Structure 1
């Protein structure tokens, strides 16, 4: 403890010498007080220095154009190289908008563990980073990666090299890698050695490259792979079977496939989500795994669906067949657990018959359907969303959807309807009827829709509103009425006040009549309001005048009768009392 006083004492001596001079006199009491004060300040200074030394790995050494946080994450922008001095405890390194053409062994040679590295346009030196777990290189213009660059990253979990100019998969990847994303590069081919030893890899993404084929020899040893995405390539052929026993999600959208061999699924018995959308397939692949939950075949060249080929898919719940050339769909009831069926933008002229009873969503929009009748929907008690927009529906049978006791969303816009369908389900929350030829809103058409929140009647032929119909929609929040030929009478303004009182958001549109109000918005025009107020005032004034005239006539009659009273009695004749 004695040595701890040396520095304060020396400092005090120098202070006395500099301020008071060596010969200045200081009392012992003053000297003791000054000594205690200086010792307290020195303790505070030591504490500050200790705190700075402990936090040196985060904020103090954070390189320029970078931000470092307590979560061991570093983000850097617009660098010409990976800066030196990045805290050694960094687990997440994000570098964007930098410039790097090549990655070399010397660049990453001393990294042992990696968590996220984003390089969008530049990278240089990672010496001393011993806690990194994910490494992501994004949009950096990188053209090549030297052999064994990532080999020493023994605990690397995530490697993402997005939006670069790589022509091949980096070699000698760490064995502990779990996520590899090489999307948006220039990779032309895959080789068996590219993924050698990656027995822990779970996610592989190679979207938007130039790959032309896929075969088992290209994906060896990936026994843990759960997700494979190769969308947006030039894949024309697939050879099988693919030995990916744990695969659950496979997407090959937007390629050039004409045929899918049935044997590629032999080892994919855990596959749940499969997408071949955006290819040139003319039929659904055969021998699909029974484990499948979702199948996407949109934007192909399907003309016929043979449901007997997929009836074994007892777990299938979502089937997407939009944007094909289907003229009819029959047999969908064989898929007993189907809850979503999308067949929009095909060539259907009638609704699919005998649909699965568990169906919750049916999208038949943008076809050539002409009528809606009850038989197609009599067993669809679970249906919640029905899309029939952009068809040519002119006949909608009254009560056709009455059995759909859970229907909440009905889309019928862009059809040929002349009126709102009768006896719609009471459960409707949204009803879209835009772009038909509907001429009015009748109370009988809407009176049961107590739960309706959104009603779209844009671009029809409605000119007036039924006040009773509006009052029967207690939950209406959004009403779209623009694009109709409104006759802006004062009764329409009264309907406006009813809607405002309900708190309904209304898109009202413009007046078509009378001529002096054409082009004005009947929901916001003050001129129309003033005219109607003046009209109301004149009516009230006229009523008051008539009332006053009646009172004057009654008074004159009473006065006339009173002149005929008998002089010897003060009583009013009975007939006079009756008149009064």
Structure 2
């Protein structure tokens, strides 16, 4: 027969605040737990156990003392007892029973086993509110906890079972942490939370559940079930959770066959739903209008039918990366009713062209790692609010990007075309552009016409192309009056390009063929802070001693990897970390 006295571990594992919609837990950590980092009064209260710290008669801090036995002579007036980070294997019922005023018990990160927690351990602790038992070796939960508890943390144990009165009949219970255990559905009774209707946070992630538990508390606000083995959600399992705002189901085995058409329809407060990394082949039905963030990445979804998302009219973030979507599978009206959608991730799919009728108010569009081979005149005609567009690692040729493809994107700030097959910069780039990424293409020439009006451009990334100094038309750089960073690394430059923009601060020229630095190589960039010249063909004699002399803001010159060591005296020399790393 299992002993009944055990002590609860104090691991206040702070669950991260949930993106945009969750806010903080309804229950804040008791002030006692905030003392561990410092701020303790210099004198201990009378009667403090040996080696412990007692800032008051109500608080005893015995954490991190390598204790093997429970401290003796703890005052019966203590309200907050911390024993975390020790080596306790059991709790003495008699001594624990005397702590009738105890509100917080922290036993996080000990060696407690279930046999060391007798069932009657907590019977007399009628004031206990916060119990932290995470990171121990418990195999079953305490059979009975006081009805006064508000937070119970049993995470990171070896639990295979909880009991009806572990969490049941607790009207004040608000938060339950059971993640990183070995719980199956058989170990979680149907009546596990009966009489505990105020629970708002429940963390059951990283267990062995095969279906979503039923009869959960109706007041749930956030429910974590990720990293289980859940293959189905029983009909009606979420029908009473009208206050649920955050539901995490990623990294499970869910398929469309395991979902009822009404699974999510009654979650009228749901704002955040993560169904990523499951086995879904279609968009699940009946998302509520309240949903703001929807993760469907890493599934097997091959199509977006017309009305698949029509009810989710408040949707702002739609993440569909790593699926099987094709442009033909995206209905022209699939995004029609998503008038609040501003972030759309479609990367790592099978799109052979830009999907039709993109959301009109989208501001961030991720289309990288697809099979897009051309950009047409009207592909982005309706996305006039677009600020970030990523088309990297597709199959784009310069001749297949229409010269007016970006004409309507007057708010575009970042354009990424890396890893394509471009030989020229695209024409008609908007004046609003601040970052232009074109590395790993086949660009072999630059001309002023293609950079005209880009006075707001701050970063131009051209690494891993085929540029030579002779293929850069004179006057090209003078169009870029606001450029701060220029990356020309891994090209075929034989010397520093002339007439660089005066605003330049960071210049990356590594892995070229530069063999000489003339006296006036940097005369047009008086405010340059970092020049990266490593792995070129420089010899000490080929570097003019006056090339860097007038650069008063210069902090870094990197010439490593050349045939000879190059010494460059600088008035403001600092470490290499002073400059931002190149791509």
The change in CA–CA distance for 1:397 and 1:85 in structure 2 (over 3 A counts) is farther
Range 181-190 or range 170-179, more displaced: 170-179
Aligned counterpart for 2:376 among listed residues 361, 373, 378: 373
Q: What corresponds to 1:325 in structure 2?
A: 324
CA distance in 1, matches of 2:440, 2:184: 48
Q: TM-score, normalised by structure 2?
A: 0.71
Aligned counterpart for 1:224 among listed residues 202, 219, 223: 219
CA distance in 2, matches of 1:85, 1:452: 70
Range 522-531 or range 501-510, more displaced: 522-531
**1:285 shift after superposition:** 1.3
CA distance in 1, matches of 2:448, 2:220: 59
1:375-402 Cα deviation digits (max 9, x unpaired)? 0111211111111111111122223112
**1:163 shift after superposition:** 1.5
CA distance in 2, matches of 1:510, 1:158: 58
Counterpart check, 1:142 vs 2:138: yes
The within-5 A match list for 1:212-361 is 212-217=210-215, 219=216, 222-241=217-236, 242=238, 243-259=240-256, 260-328=259-327, 329-330=330-331, 331=333, 332-361=335-364
CA distance in 1, matches of 2:378, 2:108: 59
The change in CA–CA distance for 1:516 and 1:427 in structure 2 (over 3 A counts) is closer
**1:115 shift after superposition:** 5.0
Counterpart check, 1:453 vs 2:461: no
Unaligned runs of 5+ in 2: 1-39, 519-530, 548-583
The change in CA–CA distance for 1:347 and 1:108 in structure 2 (over 3 A counts) is farther
Counterpart check, 1:474 vs 2:481: yes
1:191-228 Cα deviation digits (max 9, x unpaired)? 222212211111001000001112433x2xx1211111
Counterpart check, 1:193 vs 2:191: yes
Aligned counterpart for 1:485 among listed residues 492, 496, 506: 492
CA distance in 2, matches of 1:146, 1:470: 71
The change in CA–CA distance for 1:333 and 1:79 in structure 2 (over 3 A counts) is farther
Structure whose CA Rg is larger: 1
CA distance in 2, matches of 1:523, 1:133: 61
The change in CA–CA distance for 1:215 and 1:144 in structure 2 (over 3 A counts) is closer
Contact 2:354 2:375 in 1 (8 A): yes
The change in CA–CA distance for 1:302 and 1:527 in structure 2 (over 3 A counts) is closer
**1:531 shift after superposition:** 3.0
Match of 1:445, SS state, is: helix
**1:54 shift after superposition:** 11
CA distance in 2, matches of 1:114, 1:234: 36
Match of 1:172, SS state, is: helix
The change in CA–CA distance for 1:68 and 1:372 in structure 2 (over 3 A counts) is farther
Q: What corresponds to 1:119 in structure 2?
A: 108
1:204-254 Cα deviation digits (max 9, x unpaired)? 01000001112433x2xx121111110000111111212212111111111
The within-5 A match list for 1:129-168 is 133-148=129-144, 150-151=145-146, 154=148, 156-168=149-161
CA distance in 1, matches of 2:150, 2:285: 36
1:327-358 Cα deviation digits (max 9, x unpaired)? 12232223222111111111100001111211
Higher relative contact order (CA 8 A, sep 6+): 2
**Equivalent pairs, count:** 469
Contact 1:462 1:485 in 2 (8 A): yes
Aligned counterpart for 2:205 among listed residues 204, 207, 219: 207
Q: What corresponds to 2:565 in structure 1?
A: none
Q: What corresponds to 2:405 in structure 1?
A: 400
Contact 1:103 1:146 in 2 (8 A): no
1:130-181 Cα deviation digits (max 9, x unpaired)? 9874333332233233311x226x1x32222221111123543343121111
Aligned counterpart for 1:531 among listed residues 542, 548, 553: 542
1:311-339 Cα deviation digits (max 9, x unpaired)? 12221121111111111223222322211
Aligned counterpart for 2:51 among listed residues 47, 56, 64: 64
Range 521-530 or range 280-289, more displaced: 521-530
The change in CA–CA distance for 1:99 and 1:61 in structure 2 (over 3 A counts) is closer
Contact 2:126 2:146 in 1 (8 A): no
**1:533 shift after superposition:** 3.9
Contact 2:456 2:480 in 1 (8 A): yes
**1:463 shift after superposition:** 2.0
Q: What corresponds to 1:17 in structure 2?
A: none
Unaligned runs of 5+ in 1: 1-51, 537-580
Question: Which has the larger helix fraction?
Answer: 1
Q: What corresponds to 2:85 in structure 1?
A: 96
CA distance in 2, matches of 1:235, 1:361: 32
Match of 1:402, SS state, is: coil
Contact 1:62 1:85 in 2 (8 A): yes
**1:371 shift after superposition:** 1.1
The change in CA–CA distance for 1:296 and 1:525 in structure 2 (over 3 A counts) is closer
The change in CA–CA distance for 1:481 and 1:138 in structure 2 (over 3 A counts) is farther
Q: What corresponds to 2:3 in structure 1?
A: none
Range 115-124 or range 319-328, more displaced: 115-124
Counterpart check, 1:425 vs 2:424: no
Counterpart check, 1:441 vs 2:446: yes
**1:266 shift after superposition:** 4.5
CA distance in 1, matches of 2:70, 2:455: 63
Match of 1:386, SS state, is: strand
